[in-house]
Structure 1
């Protein structure tokens, strides 16, 4: 039983790290684990999605915390400015793109900084990330 959970647990950790401001490669790990056939695609999808969403919520929370210390005008980084413009235009729906490499993490950070609604943000983040992992399973599963 424990051996059957090692793959999904490793995938959960990889996905969590990948969705913070740290780099990671949960998509490659998911594709590899699908080829190993040691765990069901559904369990792998759930592990990857849950870890990735929790990592994004951690980044979102970091944005909220940073907002208490630094004013919004401190968003001088060009990626952060782009994320701010995008989120000010689309609101939480902009977080449907939180799964994208390079821009997804700043989107979550800035969404927290802007104090977007947590529930709406969680729904958008989850939908985008769940769909991304479903596509990977469709391609490699």
Structure 2
């Protein structure tokens, strides 16, 4: 189904898989490659879609944080724990935003504590780019 939409289909599935919806963007990427789509273009389209999905998680976290503060006040213990985690490990954790299961929540967490957007998005995008690069490299050289 996604193939019929071409590059827009790859962009859409990689975007959705970076949100909290359970999709496997790697499987779809491999499907596109097996159908003869250009690997370099696929690398950039998948990275862009998945990174924008990760940024969406960040902004959902930031929006949710404001709502929680209004409801529970600024003394929310859980938020204080997360802020401590980010202070300890920094925005470097965004490198792991590509990881299954935890990656979506890392960006959500970074948004909740309002971590530096520039570094969060930079590290996230580099991590996602490297993941897709490895998938394509293994596929092309297998």
TM-score range, shorter chain: 0.7 to 0.9
Q: Where in structure 2 are the equivalents of 1:93-108 lying within 5 Å? A: 93-108=92-107
What is the Cα deviation at residue 127 of structure 1?
0.4
Shift, 1:35, TM fit: 1.2
Unaligned runs of 5+ in 1: 76-80
- Distance in 2 between the 1:86 and 1:55 partners? 23
In the other structure, the counterpart of 2:45 is 47
For this pair of structures, how many residues does the alignment match? 131
Distance 1:64 1:129 in 2: 21
Which string of whole-angstrom CA distances, capped at 9 and with x for unpartnered residues, describes residues 28-51 of structure 1? 0111111111x2101111111000
- For structure 2, the 5+ residue unaligned runs are 70-75
Whether 1:73 and 2:77 are equivalent positions in the alignment is yes
Shift of residue 87, structure 1, vs aligned partner = 2.9
TM-score (norm 2): 0.84
Q: Work out which of the two has the higher radius of gyration on C-alpha atoms and give 1 or 2.
A: 2
Runs (4 or more) in structure 1 with deviation over 4 Å come to 83-86
1:35 maps to 2:39? no
TM normalised by structure 1 equals: 0.85
Cα deviation per residue 1:76-113 (whole Å; 9 max; x = unaligned)? xxxxx7x7665332111110000001100110001000
